[in-house]
Amino acid sequence: MKMSKWVSTILLLSFLNPIISKGSSNLAQDFLEFANKNEVFEWMVGVRRKIHEKPELGYEEYETSEMIRKELDKMGILYEYPVAGTGVVGFVGSGEGPFVGLRADMDALPMQEMVEWKHKSKVDGKMHACGHDGHVTMLLGAAKILKQHSHLLKGTVVLVFQPAEEGGGGAKLVVESGILKNVKAIFGLHVAPEQPLGQVFSRSGTIMAGSGFFEAVITGKGGHAAIPQHSIDPILAASNVVVSLQHLVSREADPLDSQVITVAKFQGGGAFNVIPDSVTIGGTFRAFSKASFTQLRQRIEEVIVGQATVHRCNATVDFAVDNKPFFPATINDAGLHKFFQNVAGDVLGVNNVKEMLPFTGAEDFSFYQEVIPGYFYFIGMNNDKNGKPASLHSPFFQLNEDVLPYGAAMQATLAATYLSDSQSQHPENHDEL
């Protein structure tokens, strides 16, 4: 009996379906095994420690950028430099579309490292206290994995080594450079020191808040502390401003719409018996929606100026957008959420893929998400090796290097699988960067 061509095709597809469905899983395990090879792991540890020893602040990442370029040169990966000042953008794959992005931030923090170890920061007052040295290393690890398996890539992976995440908004400049114009999706990660090693955490929709900075100078009239009636006290005015700003959250914001105002800077006076001429205060404000963020910004200025007036002072408010641009809320693309869960399950096991609640930290990865479907997630790094870990932005922060293979494999698998899925859905996609 002769089968029709249609029936033969159906039977063939049904036979191949288990193989096709297992392809992503096999790829994920191959990538993870490659990242865990002794020589690859030791290479990543060495790279990370070199970066850690020489931390550089936003838009000053010259040595970090040079090291990245040297490693990409060794791998034979082409790149563009400079992008957004000190950034590097590499390309691995076919050189044609579809294109998918992977991002790592490079900058350190203006902090003195308090951990005594062989590879402690060699730069006074600067430290990688947020894990960006690890993020760069994991992206380089992903680059090595992808280059080794470039014959499997059905498109091009764009490797974004980005400057100035810590308040400088480096992602905004990368977007404005136009280098990502044909990128269809972008993925970013961040280490989570208190979460278990080998687990990832994320959610669909809003995951982190929008954030902005403010600074205000409140000016009165200085004088002797013994005769305050002859002065106009800016410290009293500033103190009432701080209290009144908290009322914006407790009495004007919807309790179900989380907002935060933190005054973290209060400077004024230098003597016990002298009322100063002026006081400077500053801080941050955060909200999960654009409307709430805009409202909060407006009310902060109104409250500062109004309270200063009540106390016979003048006030000027600066939101420092030229140096510290407002970060939008970080909002994960809903269409990428299920994709992420499936890929992460293949790499780490489905039980190690966790949903998380949104929180009020901020990330400039959000600038990518305003123009490209993007997905941001956290990767745990806590095990017996690092005991009770210090939090991010602590001078006692330590990166557990056991996380490096997991992050490298996760990023590489997300990119390779995305390209494969995109090519199967849109085989005619041959854009060029």
Give the domain CATH number at 148.
3.40.630.10
Please check whether residues 57 and 175 belong to one and the same domain.
yes
Flag whether 10 is in a domain: no
Query: How many distinct structural domains can be found in the chain?
Result: 2
End residue of a domain, out of 318, 339, 369: 318
> How many Å separate Cα 168 from the centre of its chain?
12
The pLDDT score that the predictor gives to residue 428 is: 61
The pLDDT value given to residue 19: 34
**Is 70 found in the same domain as 193?**
yes
Tell me what the mean pLDDT of segment 375-393 comes to.
93
What is the pLDDT at residue 423?
Answer: 80
pLDDT tens sequence across 112-133: 999 999 999 999 999 999 999 9
Q: Is 393 annotated as a binding residue?
A: yes
Q: For 197-245, what is each residue's pLDDT tens digit?
A: 999 999 999 999 999 999 999 999 999 999 999 999 999 999 999 999 9
The CATH number of residue 242's host domain is 3.30.70.360
Mark whether 279 and 201 lie in a shared domain.
Answer: no
The reported pLDDT for the residue numbered 241 is 98
pLDDT for position 433: 59
What domain range includes position 263?
Answer: 210-318
pLDDT band at 425 (very low <50, low <70, confident <90, very high): confident
- Mean pLDDT, the chain, integer: 93
- Same domain (yes/no): 214, 197: no
Report if residue 363 sits inside a domain. Answer: yes
φ, ψ of residue 422 to 5 degrees: the values are -65, -40
Residue 107 lies in a domain: yes
Percent of the chain with pLDDT over 70: 93
**Residue 13, in any domain of the structure:** no
Number of Cα atoms under 13 Å in the Cβ half of residue 246: 8
* One domain for residues 192 and 215: no
Mean pLDDT calculated for residue range 99-108:
98
pLDDT, tens digit (0-9, with 9 covering 90-100), for 17-70: 333 334 578 999 999 999 999 999 999 999 999 999 999 999 999 999 999 999
pLDDT at 314: 98
**235-272 burial, b for 16+ CB within 10 Å, e for fewer?**
bbbbbbbeebbeebbeeebeeeebbbbebeeeebbeee
Q: Does one domain contain both 215 and 167?
A: no
Claim to verify: residue 46 and residue 163 sit in the same structural domain: yes
Q: Are residues 297 and 340 in the same domain?
A: no
Helices 334-348 and 404-425 pack at an angle, to 10 degrees, of 130
Assess contact for 206 and 288: CB atoms under 8 A.
Answer: yes
pLDDT of residue 20: 35
Same domain, 170 and 184: yes
Domain C-terminal end among 318, 339, 368:
318
Asked whether residue 229 falls in the same domain as residue 313, the answer is yes
Q: pLDDT band at 308, cuts 50/70/90?
A: very high
311 occurs within a structural domain = yes
More confident site: 19 or 397: 397
Pair 151, 180 in one domain: yes
What does the block give as tokens for 101?
């992005």
For residue 386, what pLDDT is reported? 78
Global confidence as pTM:
0.90
Q: Is 247 annotated as a binding residue?
A: no
The whole-angstrom distance between residue 381's C-alpha and the CA centroid of its chain comes to 16
Helix segments in 195-330, DSSP class H:
234-247, 290-310
Q: Is a pLDDT exceeding 60 seen at residue 277?
A: yes
Of 318, 352, 371, which residue is a domain's last?
Answer: 318
- pLDDT tens sequence across 129-182: 999 999 999 999 999 999 999 999 999 999 999 999 999 999 999 999 999 999
DSSP state of 354: E
Do 280 and 184 reside in the same domain of the chain?
no
Is the residue at 249 inside a domain?
Answer: yes
Is 224 annotated as contributing to ligand binding? no
**1 within domain boundaries:** no
Residue 298 phi, psi dihedral angles, 5° rounding: -60, -45
- Mean per-residue pLDDT, 72-92: 98
Determine, yes or no, domain membership for 6.
no
